[in-house]
Amino acid sequence: MLKIKESGISLFAAFILSIFCLNISAQTPKKIRTIIVDAGHGGTDAGAHGEYEGTLGSLEKHITLAISNKLVAELKKQLPDTKIVPTRTTDIYQAPREKARIANDNRGDLFICIHADAVALKTGSRIIGYKTETYTTTKYIGKGKKKKKIVTPHTREVPIKQYFKIPTTRKGTSTLIFAANKTNDKIRAMQNSDLMIPDVDDSTLNINYDSPEWKANALLYTQNYFKKSYKLGSLIQDEITNMGRENLGVWQREKGIAVLQATQMPAVLIETGFIANPEDERYLNSEKGQQEIAEAIAKAIKKYKDQVENPKPATQLNETTSK
């Protein structure tokens, strides 16, 4: 969890924001120099696991690592001039904060988290046989001192049940970005971090994190990150459609994605597929599936990089998503 400090965004900040809005759009396009690829979970944090009947028993941490390693290789091949930094290349534990620190310390321009989806599964049951159960009935005859208790044993057949988890029918890929109304969290992350707003050399400045000016700038950057995260998410989902996988869209999530809020850069979390779906689980475990997903994501990142670095004059002031 992030350390929470009280920091409301004042109306004044919003006013400053409106002034700066035109400014930021008119800046020279930012180069994508460093891309961070995070294999979700790791080590003692296995993430989701296959638990339905007939599952391969896969652990999310292995799937995320396999896809991330392929994505890193693919990005290095397709973007030779860009620095690609994986948060982990082996099965080690990292707290979300540690993952975010690696991204921030490397001054990433993009943060790509690889995950696999899980859902709570329903339990089913089936009869696999019968067993004989004995039970007794009791009755009394006579009255007073002659009252007698008679216990009669009986037997009956009862079913033997087996319980199992039912796999989900949900499958496909979705991309999560931090919720727009959570920009405050992203700003707090910037306040809590040793780093400041990228491209601003603050080493000689004594920054007052509570000043309206700082907050306005931070808000400006986080809103810009939100727009860019959404843009990248849309491009990724387009490639998911192009590769023939089910496109579950781009979602804003408010909980459980601290890592997206703690990074000072556009960030997306890709739920590559459902471990709890037999077809998806097998696909995610296959070399072919992992490579196809890695290539689709790399293609989207390349398009994003091209669009950000070479904006068309018509879209420069008003960034739109790919569709």
Name the minimum Å distance from CB 290 to Zn ion. 16
**Residues binding Zn ion: what is the number (CB under 5 A)?**
3
Name the minimum Å distance from CB 87 to Zn ion. 13
Name the minimum Å distance from CB 197 to Zn ion. 29
The answer to whether 111 and 265 have CB atoms below 8 angstroms apart is yes
Query: Can you tell me the distance from the alpha carbon of 185 to that of 196, in angstroms, rounded to the nearest whole number?
Result: 15
Give the amino acid at 181: N
Query: Can you tell me the distance from the alpha carbon of 106 to that of 55, in angstroms, rounded to the nearest whole number?
Result: 38
**By rule CB under 5 A, what string of x and - marks binding of each residue 20-59 to Zn ion?**
--------------------x------x------------
Query: Can you tell me the distance from the alpha carbon of 24 to that of 29, in angstroms, rounded to the nearest whole number?
Result: 10
Residue closer to Zn ion, measured from CB, 67 or 218: 67
Q: For the chain, count helices (H), then strands (E).
A: 8, 8
Residue closer to Zn ion, measured from CB, 47 or 86: 47
The answer to whether 103 and 38 have CB atoms below 8 angstroms apart is yes
Residue closer to Zn ion, measured from CB, 115 or 186: 115
Name the minimum Å distance from CB 294 to Zn ion. 17
SS3 69: helix
Name the minimum Å distance from CB 42 to Zn ion. 10
Name the minimum Å distance from CB 100 to Zn ion. 15
Name the minimum Å distance from CB 47 to Zn ion. 4
Q: CA neighbours within 13 Å on the CB side: how many for 292? A: 18
Residue among 248, 258, 243 at smallest CA distance from 182: 258
Residue closer to Zn ion, measured from CB, 115 or 188: 115
Residue closer to Zn ion, measured from CB, 41 or 305: 41
Residue among 243, 261, 246 at smallest CA distance from 174: 246
Query: Can you tell me the distance from the alpha carbon of 96 to that of 190, in angstroms, rounded to the nearest whole number?
Result: 15
The answer to whether 93 and 43 have CB atoms below 8 angstroms apart is yes
The answer to whether 37 and 84 have CB atoms below 8 angstroms apart is yes
Name the minimum Å distance from CB 62 to Zn ion. 12
Nearest 5°: phi and psi at 85?
-120, 110
The two tokens of residue 119 are 């859902």
Residue closer to Zn ion, measured from CB, 121 or 195: 121
Query: Looking at residue 209, what DSSP letter applies?
Result: T
The strand pair at 110-117 and 83-86 is best described as: unpaired
**Using CB under 5 A, which of the segments 101-109, 110-118, 131-139, 311-319 binds Zn ion?**
110-118
**Using CB under 5 A, which of the segments 89-97, 112-120, 202-210, 304-312 binds Zn ion?**
112-120
Residue closer to Zn ion, measured from CB, 70 or 115: 115
Closest residue to Zn ion, based on beta-carbon distance: 115
Query: Can you tell me the distance from the alpha carbon of 205 to that of 112, in angstroms, rounded to the nearest whole number?
Result: 31
Residue closer to Zn ion, measured from CB, 40 or 266: 40
Residue closer to Zn ion, measured from CB, 248 or 308: 248
Name the minimum Å distance from CB 73 to Zn ion. 22
115 scored as a contact of Zn ion (CB under 5 A): yes
Q: Rule CB under 5 A: which residues touch Zn ion?
A: 40, 47, 115
